[in-house]
Amino acid sequence: MKELLSTLTPMLQYVFLGNTMGAYLASLLMFIAVMVVCRIFNGIVLKTMQRWAEGTETDIDDLIVDYILRPLYYIFLLLGVYFAKSYLKIPEALDVWLTRLILAAGIVVGFIYVFRFLEELIRRAGERYIRRLEHQAPPDLEAQKRTVHRVVKQAREIGLTLFIILAVLTLLANLGVDLKAIWASLGIGGIAVVVAVKDPLTNIVGRIYIFGTGIFDEGHFIVFKNWAGTVKKVGFFRTYLELFTDMTTVSIPNAQFINEGVKNYYGRTKFMYKWDLDVPYEISAEAVERLIAALKEMIIGLPEVNLDMCWIYLDRLDKYSKVVRVWFQVALPDWAASLFYGSKVLKRVQEVFVSQGVDFAFPTSSVHLEGVSGSPELRALIPDLAGSDSGTPVPPGGRAKPER
């Protein structure tokens, strides 16, 4: 044994890169010891806690095991690296940066698991609320479920954005980066950088605004300025809209949605239809009343029509016709269904006109031809005049005047 020690002692005292081999061996043994502790924690303690959590009725203990205790495995590894480092003689500057990097890694792990914990907590709360809604079975169940899904997604997106910003600032602060000193030292260049990052930061705020207010979400059909289409993606800086007209994609800076109005068709189930139907003046007042009564009977008979929002009446006596206004509200599954519904009802409207013996009016005018009735030449050319001087096309050289 003494001979073995006498042989190992010179080897352990051998200096390499400023540290003895004994110091390297002690550092390695410390790291191995921490690894063993991590394996024991992960294989015994953590699995025991998981089995215990699975046997309980609440979800909080499952979240604690998965997102609070599990990160301890990685924290122990980082502590192992830190303690192993303490056995070695390292230049002071390098030692400071290694310590900061270990701390930064721990911060990243902590932020990741805290965010996942909160994200899973919100998701499970949303699922529990939806199950409660399904048990209560309210009339607008689907609409409420869509609202819950939207709120859960918005909370996730807002939380992710804020966590990223907070994590970056925390990392920079722990790495010893003095942001104020950097901006001050840049001078004119710093002003240029501030101007350059202004729009991206404003667009990030716009993204938070979009999800925070819920004005729209991915998959929604919206109208914004001169664009109308489906939202394909809400990115950190831009929102991508697939246009309805030609199926091309336009990218819109998120900041524009803060001050501009957005028309959102998603989830819309109530639609208004308003038509002005022109009836010829030759139709008597009694016939118009019968036509209105027939239209009311047809519209009110549709099951999707809201009877409290239905008006059919003689609106005005226009220049060329009597105008019957048909104005009603219907409940439909979605916006796509509304595109074809109006066509079906208009077909029924035409059938009502036919059944009542009423034609649709259209703008017309009559002209009088001066000198036509007394001109034998023109009477020979236009034998259908038969003494009439109205309703005839104007011949070449003729002068027409509108009927007063």
- pLDDT value of residue 310: 94
Write down the mean pLDDT value for the chain. Answer: 79
Angle ∠(332,338,344) on CA atoms, nearest 5: 105
Looking at residue 393, the DSSP 8-state letter turns out to be P
In 17-90, alpha helices (H): 21-40, 46-54, 60-64, 71-86
Higher pLDDT, 85 or 286: 286
| d(C-alpha 369, C-alpha 398), whole Å | 7
pLDDT(314) > 60: yes
Indicate the Cα dihedral angle 89, 94, 99, 104, nearest 10°. -160
Contact 83, 30 (CB under 8 A): yes
| d(C-alpha 230, C-alpha 250), whole Å | 10
Helix, strand or coil, per DSSP, at residue 381:
helix
Reported as a pLDDT band with limits 50, 70 and 90, residue 116 is confident
- pLDDT value of residue 253: 93
Higher pLDDT, 190 or 130: 130
Residue ranges and CATH numbers for the domains of the chain are 11-183 (no CATH), 184-264 (2.30.30.60), 270-355 (3.30.70.100), 367-402 (no CATH)
Q: For the residues 101-124, what does the mean pLDDT come to?
A: 83
Reported as a pLDDT band with limits 50, 70 and 90, residue 396 is very low
- pLDDT value of residue 388: 47
Helix, strand or coil, per DSSP, at residue 289:
helix
- pLDDT value of residue 381: 57
Higher pLDDT, 242 or 121: 242
Q: Which of 122-131, 162-171, 302-311 has the highest mean pLDDT?
A: 302-311
- Would the pTM count as exceeding 0.75? no
| d(C-alpha 331, C-alpha 273), whole Å | 11
Chain center to CA of 269: 18
Q: For the residues 126-136, what does the mean pLDDT come to?
A: 86
> Poorest-confidence range of 27-31, 135-139, 151-155, 380-384?
380-384
Chain center to CA of 158: 13
Q: For the residues 102-128, what does the mean pLDDT come to?
A: 83
- pLDDT value of residue 387: 47
Residue/partner pairs of 148-156 with CB below 8 Å, 24 or more apart: 150/214, 150/217, 151/126, 151/214, 152/122, 152/123, 152/126, 153/211, 153/217, 154/211, 154/212, 154/214, 154/217, 155/122, 156/119, 156/122, 156/123
% the chain with pLDDT above 70: 77
pLDDT tens figures, 143-158: 788 778 877 877 887 7
pLDDT(402) > 80: no
Would you tell me how many other CB atoms lie within 10 Å of the CB of residue 257?
A: 22
What is the C-alpha radius of gyration for the chain, rounded to an integer number of angstroms? 40
Q: Phi/psi class of residue 26: alpha, beta or left (left: φ > 0; alpha: ψ in -120 to 50)?
A: alpha
pLDDT(392) > 60: no
pLDDT(282) > 70: yes
| d(C-alpha 12, C-alpha 1), whole Å | 16
- pLDDT value of residue 330: 95
pLDDT tens figures, 17-66: 677 777 777 888 888 888 888 777 777 777 777 777 666 767 676 777 77
Residues 6 or more apart in contact with residue 339 via CB below 8 angstroms = none
